[in-house]
C-alpha cells in the first residue's frame, strides 16, 4: 500500500528550525559552552523547593502563578497584574508573536540576534524587518527607529544581545523607548541583564511607569541556573500584555516544580551577586586568553563571548575539532554570522580547557 504523507500547514514550511546545541547525550566530562547556561548548579535550597513540589504532582500547578507573580512583583516593584510568566521566556516571546502578529503586520528586530525571533514572523505570516548591527556588534537603534511604520506591531531589542554579547547603555535604550509609538509593543529582551556592568540591571524598571507599551523580558534560565525547569517572566508597562499572552496559551504553561524553584531562587539575591562576580572573572580571563591567541572578542556584557575566527580558519572544522577535545561551542553561521564563534563562560577549568583546545586547533 502506498504511504500517504501528512499534509502540514504552510506555516510549518516557513518556521525555521531552532539551531539546537549538540552534546546532550555526551559523557559528563564535556565542557558544555554552547547554550549560555550557568556552569554552577542551582542552590540546594532551590532544588529542595522543586523536590517538595514533586510530592503534590497529582494536582495541576497554580494556573495564575499567583505566588510567583507576587514574589516577582515584590522584588521588582511591579503590580502582579503587570507580570507575565512563561514556560521559559521563549514561551512569552512565541505567545507575543501569536497575540500581536498576523499577515500584513510587521515585526522589527536586529540581526544577528536571538534565534527565536525569526520564528515569530514565520509562524504568524507577519513580515520580519531585520536591522543590521553596527560595526561593534551592537543594535543600531536609529536604524531600527526608521523601520517603524504604520504596519509595525512589535519591536524587539535584545540588550545585552545574544549572540554578540554586546550591550547598549541605559540612556540609549531609554531614548529609544521614547521614540516607539504607544500602540507598538516594545519587548526589551533582558535575558542577560544581570551580567551587564554598564548599568544597574534594574534601571529599565523605571521606564515601565511611563511606557504602557514596554515589556521587559527576563528569565530564570541564566543567572538563576534553572534552564532545565523552564521559567521566564515579563515585567510590563500595562496589564494588556500579560492578559493577551495568557489568552493565547494553554492554562497550565508553568509547571509546579518550576514555580516553586523560581519563588525560592528569588530569595537568594546574594547567590545572584556571586554568580555575576564569577562570570565577570571568567570574562576577564577569557578575554585575556583570546587576546593571547590574537583574537579580539566583542565587548561582552554577558556570560559568553563572541568573536570572529582568523580568516583562514574554517568555522565548522574548528567547532568539530573543539568537540573532539570535549569542548562544545556554537558556530556563528547558524546564529547569523559565518566565521564567528559564540562561547559560554564555564568554570575556570572549563575555560582553560577551551582556550588550550582553541590554541591547538588554530
Report, in Å, the least distance between residue 284 CB and ligand PLP. 22
Is residue 254 part of the contact set for ligand PLP (CB under 6 A)?
no
Interface mask toward ligand PLP for 149-188; x: CB under 6 A: ---------x---x--------------------------
Rounded to a whole number of angstroms, the minimum distance from the CB of residue 54 to ligand PLP is 21
> What phi and psi, each to the nearest 5 degrees, are found at residue 37?
-85, 170
CB of 222 to ligand PLP, least distance (A): 7
Alpha-carbon gap, residue 132 to 111, rounded angstroms? 5
Comparing CB distances to ligand PLP, the nearer of 18 and 252 is 18
User: Minimum CB separation from ligand PLP for residue 229, in Å?
Assistant: 9
**In the bound complex, what is the minimum distance in angstroms from residue 88's beta carbon to ligand PLP?**
3
Angstrom distance (rounded) from CA 280 to CA 88 = 25
Q: By rule CB under 6 A, what string of x and - marks binding of each residue 62-91 to ligand PLP? A: --------------------------xxx-
Whether 348 and 285 have beta carbons less than 8 Å apart is answered as yes
Which residue is at the shortest CB distance from ligand PLP?
88
Give the three cell numbers for residue 282.
Answer: 571568567
Quick check: 352 binds ligand PLP (CB under 6 A)?
A: no
Pair 105, 153: CB distance under 8 Å: yes
Residues 209-238 that bind ligand PLP (CB under 6 A): 219, 221, 227, 232
For ligand PLP, the closer of residues 152 and 159 by Cβ is: 159
Which residues face 236 on adjacent strands?
Answer: 215
Supply the minimum distance, in Å, between the C-beta of residue 215 and ligand PLP: 12
Secondary structure, 3-state, 78-105: CCHHHEEEECCHHHHHHHHHHHHCCCCC
C-alpha cell belonging to residue 245:
499572552
From first CA to last CA, the distance across the chain in angstroms is 54
Cα distances (Å, whole numbers) of residue 346 to 39, 55, 147, 280: 5, 33, 38, 11
Binding site for ligand PLP (CB under 6 A): 36, 88-90, 114, 158, 162, 189, 191, 219, 221, 227, 232
Amino acid at each position: 500500500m502506498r504511504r500517504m504523507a501528512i499534509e502540514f500547514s504552510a506555516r510549518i514550511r516557513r518556521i525555521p528550525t531552532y539551531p539546537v546545541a549538540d552534546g546532550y547525550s555526551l559523557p559528563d566530562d564535556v565542557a558544555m559552552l554552547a547554550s549560555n547556561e550557568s556552569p554552577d548548579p542551582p542552590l540546594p535550597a532551590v532544588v529542595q523547593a522543586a523536590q517538595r513540589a514533586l510530592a503534590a504532582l497529582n494536582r495541576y500547578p497554580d494556573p495564575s502563578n499567583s505566588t510567583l507573580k507576587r514574589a516577582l512583583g515584590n522584588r521588582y516593584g511591579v503590580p502582579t497584574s503587570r507580570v507575565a510568566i512563561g514556560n521559559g521566556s521563549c514561551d512569552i516571546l512565541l505567545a507575543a508573536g501569536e497575540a500581536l502578529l498576523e499577515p500584513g503586520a510587521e515585526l522589527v528586530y536586529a540581526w544577528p540576534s536571538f534565534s527565536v525571533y525569526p520564528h515569530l514572523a514565520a509562524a504568524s505570516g507577519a513580515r520580519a524587518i531585520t536591522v543590521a548591527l553596527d560595526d561593534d556588534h551592537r543594535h543600531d537603534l536609529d536604524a531600527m527607529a526608521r523601520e517603524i511604520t504604520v504596519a509595525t506591531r512589535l519591536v524587539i531589542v535584545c540588550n545585552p544581545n545574544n549572540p554578540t554579547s554586546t550591550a547598549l547603555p541605559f540612556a540609549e535604550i531609554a531614548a529609544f523607548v521614547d521614540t516607539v509609538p504607544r500602540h507598538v509593543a516594545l519587548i526589551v529582551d533582558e535575558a542577560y541583564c544581570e551580567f551587564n556592568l554598564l548599568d544597574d540591571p534594574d534601571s529599565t524598571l523605571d521606564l515601565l511607569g511611563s511606557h504602557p507599551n514596554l515589556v521587559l523580558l527576563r528569565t530564570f534560565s541564566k543567572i538563576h541556573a534553572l534552564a532545565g525547569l523552564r521559567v521566564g517572566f515579563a515585567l510590563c508597562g500595562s496589564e494588556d500584555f500579560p492578559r493577551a499572552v495568557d489568552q493565547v496559551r494553554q492554562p497550565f504553561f508553568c509547571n509546579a516544580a518550576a514555580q516553586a524553584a523560581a519563588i525560592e531562587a528569588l530569595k537568594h539575591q546574594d547567590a545572584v551577586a556571586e554568580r555575576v562576580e564569577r562570570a565577570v572573572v571568567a570574562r576577564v580571563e577569557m578575554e585575556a586568553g583570546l587576546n593571547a591567541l590574537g583574537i579580539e572578542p566583542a565587548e561582552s556584557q554577558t556570560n559568553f563571548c563572541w568573536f570572529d575566527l582568523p580568516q583562514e580558519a574554517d568555522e565548522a572544522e574548528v567547532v568539530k575539532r573543539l568537540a573532539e577535545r570535549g569542548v562544545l561551542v556554537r558556530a556563528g553561521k547558524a546564529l547569523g554570522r559565518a566565521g564567528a564563534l559564540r562561547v559560554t563562560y564555564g568554570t575556570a577549568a572549563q575555560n582553560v580547557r577551551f582556550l588550550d583546545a582553541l590554541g591547538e586547533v588554530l
